Amino acid sequence: MKEMNYVYLVRCADGSLYCGWTTDLSARMEAHNSGKGAKYTRSRLPVQTVYTERCASKGDALRTEYAVKRLGRREKEKRITRRERLRSGLSCFFAGDVPEGSERNAWTVRALLDSKEIGRTGLYEQAEHSEEGGGLILAGPEVSADWENTGLEMDLFCFLCEKAKSLGIREIRIPSPEETGPKQAFAARFGIREPEGDGYIHIWLTDPEKNS
């Protein structure tokens, strides 16, 4: 995957909230608290991180930052509370199985909160891509309506990528964003490259230089 991008909210010394984006959260917070960050925070130090959300690309981060900045204070606080609940109570489970009546391999990630499934994603194998370590097709991610716009989709995808890489999977293929549906809308966030001749966007796990 490419360098990860983040959207964040900090709470300033006067209680106000500031939203920004970065590729390095630690360095950005150090810059804010040393007076070298945004003009808004320089007179409101110290600041404390209260919300972070991983984004697929710089463009995705900028769009998310814009959307968050347009929210009112109450909606921002709600976003912070929901994200904190995910951070403290979310459990992700990774399992491999072969669906009954199928010869393809399948891997699933389920997200549970208070023992209730709130999201899932996974990978499945197609015959034409079944070479050892070859690309697997992304299924999802899908989250329940109550947990949309909380960063859960990207959390699930990143968790899936980490597990897939540990299994020696070299790449993940995402259906072309030119198609319709939630998978394609998610794929469109990456901005990594145009779909190749096979109609898929390729996310390289073991050779990230190709994701450019």
CATH code of residue 198: 3.40.630.30
Give the model's pLDDT for residue 111: 94
Structure tokens at 88: 């403290």
**Containing domain of residue 171, as a range?**
90-210
Residues in the chain: 212
> Is the domain of 106 the same as that of 148?
yes
Give the model's pLDDT for residue 97: 58
Give the model's pLDDT for residue 90: 92
Give the model's pLDDT for residue 130: 45
What φ, ψ does residue 96 adopt, rounded to 5°? -110, 140
Tens-digit pLDDT string for the chain (212 aa): 457 899 999 999 999 999 999 999 999 999 999 999 999 999 999 999 999 999 888 888 999 999 999 999 999 999 999 999 998 999 998 877 544 544 456 788 999 999 999 999 988 876 554 444 456 888 878 899 999 888 898 889 888 888 888 888 888 887 765 554 555 556 556 554 455 566 677 777 776 555 55
Q: Among 37, 70, 103, where does a domain finish?
A: 70
In a domain, 84, yes or no: no
Question: What total number of domains does the chain contain?
Answer: 2
Cα dihedral 67→72→78→79 (10° resolution): 20
145 φ/ψ sector (left φ>0, alpha ψ -120 to 50, else beta): alpha
> Is the domain of 58 the same as that of 103?
no
Give the model's pLDDT for residue 132: 45
> Is the domain of 118 the same as that of 202?
yes
Q: For residue 40, what is the domain's CATH number?
A: 3.40.1440.10
Q: Among 39, 70, 101, where does a domain finish?
A: 70
In a domain, 60, yes or no: yes
> Is the domain of 140 the same as that of 198?
yes
> Is the domain of 95 the same as that of 66?
no
String of DSSP letters for 153-198: HHHHHHHHHHHHHHTT--EEEEE-TTS-SHHHHHHTTT-S----TT
